[in-house]
Amino acid sequence: CLAGCRALAAGTPWHLAGGASAGGCGSVMRAYPFGLLFRHDLQRAERWAVAHSKLTHRDPIALAASAAMAVGVALALRDEAPLYVASEMIAAAARYCARTAMMMTQALDDAQSGVAADITLDRLRGWAAHEAIAAALYLFVCHADDPRAAILQGANSSGDSDSLATLAGALVGARCGLAALPQDWVRDVERSEELLALAARV
């Protein structure tokens, strides 16, 4: 992320600022607002999420994961069935990186066949974008109606736990809404009043 900022400051065009092999999960964590804002226009949500990733992360795994995240949030917000959301996330990822889509497909298979979270989340630690989005898909499918469980399982995983909790929370939160979150979490989060006001405008 800092390398992309330095490149932008030096005058590099925005779509070339991110490293060509930068495939961390930083841009994926920033992608969900495009699903919120453009929930009625999936192509636009995907296009903007991918474009924004190029500011810092241009590796295909980051582009694929960002596309999937935006599409997933948009569809979850529209109350589509979790398995449909997951399949459309995989389809979005496949448009940019087959390897990412395959990793997500395996995560979906794990969720549907009951593979334990400690096994899947040990394999998908989330430091790289494709692992992070696959882990988030797994958590979403396993806990589609329970944002608290999805967030806690991500936060207590052995890898990039804050990222996995963020991504899973965004997906399940979009599906279930604010009322499904523990009220003390909503109350105690930093700058909660400002965030609630922003949410009301979106």
Digit-by-digit pLDDT tens for the chain (202 residues) are 899 999 999 999 999 999 999 999 999 999 999 999 999 999 999 999 999 999 999 999 999 999 999 999 999 999 999 999 999 999 999 999 999 999 999 999 999 999 999 999 999 999 999 999 999 999 999 999 999 999 999 999 999 999 999 999 999 999 999 999 999 999 999 999 999 998 888 7
Amino acid at 149: A
For position 106, what pLDDT does the model report? 98
For position 91, what pLDDT does the model report? 98
**What angle do helix axes 129-142 and 161-176 make, rounded to 10 degrees?**
40
For position 200, what pLDDT does the model report? 84
Q: What is d(CA 51, CA 131) in angstroms, rounded to the nearest whole number?
A: 20
Global confidence as pTM: 0.95
For position 198, what pLDDT does the model report? 87
62 alpha carbon, distance to own chain's centre: 11
Cβ atoms 63, 50 nearer than 8 A: yes
Exposure string of 60-99, with b = 16+ CB inside 10 Å and e = fewer, is bbbbbbbbbbbbbbbbbbeebebeebbbbbbebbbebbee
Cβ atoms 105, 137 nearer than 8 A: no
Q: What is d(CA 74, CA 48) in angstroms, rounded to the nearest whole number?
A: 13
Q: What is d(CA 107, CA 31) in angstroms, rounded to the nearest whole number?
A: 20
48 sits in which H/E element: helix 42-53
Question: ∠ CA(108), CA(110), CA(114), 5° rounding?
Answer: 125
